[in-house]
A and B are shown apart, each in its own frame.
Chain A
Amino acid sequence: MLTTIANKTVSLNEEGYLTDFSQWDKTIAQEIAQQAGIDLTLRHWDVLNYVQDQYKKEIALTIRNVGKSGVVDIKEFYQLFPAGPLKTCTKIAGIPKPVSCI
């Protein structure tokens, strides 16, 4: 599905995740974050940069490994992205929703 975020045309899946990471930029992140009721701070960006990095390295993301990353602990992760931190931060970061549950 094509839509416009921050005046740019992007392709989203039915859950609102970008299907092409190359279309992502910081203004898009800010707009998706605002829709989720989050004002991005430097701490949010630390996490967003980390999860994008893991995605590029093809390392699967889980709440547990983000919590042990040294970037953020689980408690703060939830404070930064209250409604399901992994789902929310990956959406803002423009990467796919992690499929950690089988």
Chain B
Amino acid sequence: MKRILILGAGTSGTMMANHLNHELKNLKEEWEIVIIDENETHYYQPGFLFLPFDIYTPEDIQKPIREFLPDDVKFFCEKIGKIIPADRKVITENGDTFHYDILIIATGTSISPEETEGMLGEEWRKNIFDFYSFDGALALRDKLRDWEGGNLVVHITEMPIKCPVAPLEFAFLADSYFKHKNIRDRVNITFVTPMDGVFTKPKATHALEHLLIEKNIHTVPDFAIERIDNENKKIIDYVGKEVPFDLLVTVPTNKGHEMIGRSGLGDDLNYVATHKATLQSKSDPNIFVIGDATNIPASKAGSVAHFEAEILTENILHYINGEPLLEEFDGHANCFVETGNGKAILLDFNYTHEPVEGTFPFPGVGPLRLLKESRMNHMGKLAFRWIYWNMLLKGNHIPFISTNMSEAGKHFDNA
């Protein structure tokens, strides 16, 4: 029996287990699929943005991993110790050994607050919070329920981060949240970023900067944090620039799984060197990488993982059959950006094309509008949670949404 071993049962790993189980159903005597994750719970990560504002409850965004895996796929809840590519095996921290013929790394990315001096100081989870972890988002919800106002600083430590629009969405939703509580006049919102603009793509930056001004959110660009002064409650950058805070909501440095580093497969942030069009690892032909774990120049986001999963599934079948791999992944990302007050913007872009204006998914019709604020876009974002739990994880194709970026109905500039 040959084995496909998937490391990580998050969005990417779960989608791959479902796709491959379906595609290999006639080869069950020959191939087995095994998936390992250190958790029993699957989190709907886009929900971490809504949890702090009491829009979603914890129950809305967590379900057992096992519920989303096919019965034929074997799931082990263990911590991964190390990958040994030369021996085609993975060792867990319990000391169990899993051999593989094909390995899929889907171990994602997570926060490393310890990378910044002072971040884990005495103010951590008192007046310094993250919302990129379930615990962080929940602690922040409890803090915001009682907070009476002051300087709210929303901060990105360094790029790349998962879902690069999320910090901006947080600032927009905070504006809305405090307006509804009738304390917006007692809250200053400042958005602090290491980039020279608020987003990674110039065209979207322009649209988003306009919204920040409209919502009276102050922006501090080019801020590369050196340390946090807990005593005087301020963040300080490498040239000595200071931003004071009463409440700091930061996105700490994001890193791949430390096991990647231990296995000698990672760069300085533990991301795996990956061919950007095939998703094969650059070091070993039988190791493939998907989602946030890769070092490819695409956004670290669920929509990207979804498009990657379709191409990676085909490539694994080609690999099994000894055929050349498709070089088809184009970096396609499709993101709803919450802008507060029940509205959202929709962005659609890839490796070579900037986010564009137009309609989506039907050219000229919509109903969703690209790069423009609308209520329908917000409804799309909320509906997405249902699509995620019921269709996306199970590997069902989402109607009308193509893997490669469609150019119809969109107004293009090249990136």
Contacts and interface: CB of A to CB of B under 8 A. Distances in A.
Contact of A78 (B195, B239, B298): B239
B120 interface: no
Interface string A35-78: 00000000000000000000000000011110010000011011
A83 B222 contact: yes
Nearest to A59: B267
Contacts of B222: 83-84
Contacts of B164: 101-102
A58 B398 CA distance: 38
A75 B238 contact: yes
B115 to A, nearest CB: 9
Nearest to A64: B268
B304 to A, nearest CB: 10
A21 B238 CA distance: 30
A99 B352 CA distance: 13
Interface residues of B, number: 18
A102 B159 contact: yes
Contacts of A101: 159-160, 164, 195, 200
Nearest to B115: A64
A7 interface: no
Interface string B293-313: 000011110000000000000
A63 B268 contact: no
B268 A100 contact: no
Contacts of B195: 101
A82 interface: yes
B297 A99 contact: yes
B242 interface: no
Interface residues of A, number: 18
B158 interface: yes
B249 to A, nearest CB: 20
Contacts of A63: 158, 224
A102 B268 contact: no
A100 B159 CA distance: 7
A78 B224 CA distance: 9
Contacts of B158: 63-64
Interface in B234-253: 238-239
A47 B160 CA distance: 23
Contacts of A64: 158, 268-269
B226 interface: yes
B299 A102 contact: yes
B239 A87 contact: no
Given A82-B239, A84-B196, A101-B200, A75 B160 contact: no
A102 B200 contact: yes
Given A64-B158, A74-B238, A78-B239, A87 B268 contact: no
A87 B196 contact: yes
Contacts of B226: 74-75
Contacts of B200: 101-102
B157 to A, nearest CB: 11
B48 to A, nearest CB: 20
8 contacts: A63-B158, A65-B268, A74-B238, A77-B238, A78-B224, A99-B297, A102-B159, A102-B164
State the 3 A-B residue pairs at the shortest beta-carbon distance, nearest first: A78-B238, A101-B159, A101-B200
Given A63-B158, A82-B239, A102-B300, 6 more contacts: A62-B268, A64-B269, A68-B268, A78-B224, A78-B239, A102-B200
